[in-house]
């Protein structure tokens, strides 16, 4: 799509280390962090900071965080990072991995000191206060696997021949009886590709809404159409949210993607008309 090409070639993206050979630093270095303006995608969706159609956050989990204590003994932890969706920028994922790796051979006096550095550095990069919580690897509620009551779309016996993003698949997506419903749906078939490297990104996508009943087959075909689409995780979720609001007669909407981890990080964008904080919902694939 033309709009993808437009922001893929933006000067902000050309400066990123993503997709380029890099050296790994094992000494704490916050300068490794790189920001990507959220406007790159939101301009194409015709939304601005002043008219965001959603609230929510991006929840990341870091599984490969380690540092040395004051005596030089290694410490390991699982980290939860919560970035408000109103922040001016997202943290580019490769730079995030390089940054976390830089803690490996650095000494810190306490868990609290590590947490304080993470909050300061990530808040500076994203442009808004980031919530950071560190957990022992054997005592982390966020790692509990969620058994969602959502109706799974993946067993629908339908023909699909389109794997390029097509929001028109949502046109006329309502059932004939126009019945108003509240339902929660999930598909584990969402796949998109990194905007820069073209590496595949895999996710389970949860959609809860209140409004006229949506044809499940049309919705699944639309979600599958992301299969050859190139965007960052956060951008895909915001696009799905905006397309559903545009084409479907719904009053309340929540879209939550749980992406599989890469390089010790998983990214889980959450957007909603009424809920600000994402729930704990780890899937088996994470």
Residue 11: CATH number of its domain: 3.30.1130.10
Q: What pLDDT is stored for residue 1 in this prediction?
A: 44
Same domain for 134 and 215, yes or no, is no
Q: 280 in a domain, yes or no? A: no
In a domain, 283, yes or no: no
In terms of phi and psi (left: phi > 0; alpha: psi -120 to 50; beta: otherwise), the region of 199 is: beta
Radius of gyration for the alpha carbons in the chain, expressed in angstroms and rounded: 20
The answer to whether residue 286 sits within a structural domain is no
Q: What pLDDT shows up at residue 25?
A: 80
Residues 164 and 78 in one domain: no
Domain end point (choices 143, 170, 199): 143
| Whole-number Å distance between alpha carbons of 171 and 167 | 8
Does some domain include residue 117? yes
In the prediction, which pLDDT does 115 show? 98
Q: Same domain, yes or no, for 27 and 107?
A: yes
Is 282 part of any domain?
no
Domain count, the chain: 2
Verify whether residue 201 is a known catalytic residue: yes
168: CB partners within 8 A, 6+ apart: none
Same domain for 114 and 160, yes or no, is no
Could you tell me the residue range of the domain that residue 260 belongs to? Answer: 151-272
Q: What is the pLDDT of residue 172?
A: 85
Query: Which pLDDT does position 18 carry in this prediction?
Result: 61
Could you tell me the pTM of the whole model? 0.91
Q: Which of 143, 161, 176 is the last residue of a domain?
A: 143
Low-confidence ranges of the chain (pLDDT < 50): 1-2
Cβ(78)–Cβ(135) below 8 Å: yes
pLDDT of residue 2: 45
Annotated active-site residue 157? The verdict is no
Please indicate, yes or no, whether residues 15 and 130 belong to a single structural domain of this protein.
Answer: yes
Q: Which of 194, 236, 242, 248 is catalytic?
A: 194
Q: Which of 201, 242, 248, 266 is catalytic?
A: 201
Q: Quick one: 45 exposed, middle or buried, by C-beta within 10 A (0-12, 13-18, 19+)? A: middle
């Amino acid at each position: 799509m033309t709009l993808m090409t437009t922001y893929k070639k933006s000067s902000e993206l050309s400066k990123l280390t993503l997709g380029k050979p890099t050296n790994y630093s094992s000494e704490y270095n916050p300068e490794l962090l790189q920001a990507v303006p959220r406007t790159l995608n939101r301009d194409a969706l015709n939304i601005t900071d002043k008219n965001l159609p959603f609230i929510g956050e991006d929840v990341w989990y870091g599984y490969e965080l380690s540092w040395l204590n004051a005596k030089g003994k290694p410490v390991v932890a699982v980290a939860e990072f919560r970035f408000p969706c109103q922040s001016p920028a997202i943290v580019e994922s490769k730079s995030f991995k390089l940054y976390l790796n830089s803690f490996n051979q650095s000494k810190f006096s306490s868990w609290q000191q590590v947490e304080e550095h993470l909050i300061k550095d990530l808040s500076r990069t994203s442009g808004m206060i980031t919530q950071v919580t560190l957990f022992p690897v054997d005592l982390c509620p966020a790692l509990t696997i969620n058994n969602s009551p959502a109706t799974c779309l993946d067993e629908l016996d339908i023909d699909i021949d389109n794997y390029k993003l097509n929001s028109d698949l949502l046109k006329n997506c309502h059932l004939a009886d126009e019945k108003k419903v509240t339902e929660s749906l999930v598909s584990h078939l969402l796949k998109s590709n990194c905007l820069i490297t073209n590496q595949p990104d895999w996710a389970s996508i949860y959609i809860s809404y209140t409004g006229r009943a949506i044809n499940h087959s049309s919705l699944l075909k639309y979600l599958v159409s992301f299969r050859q689409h190139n965007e960052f995780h956060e951008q895909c979720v915001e696009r799905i949210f905006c397309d559903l609001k545009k084409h479907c007669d719904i009053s309340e909407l929540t879209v939550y993607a749980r992406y599989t981890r890469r390089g010790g990080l998983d990214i889980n964008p959450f957007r909603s008309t009424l809920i600000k904080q994402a729930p704990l919902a780890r899937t088996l694939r994470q």
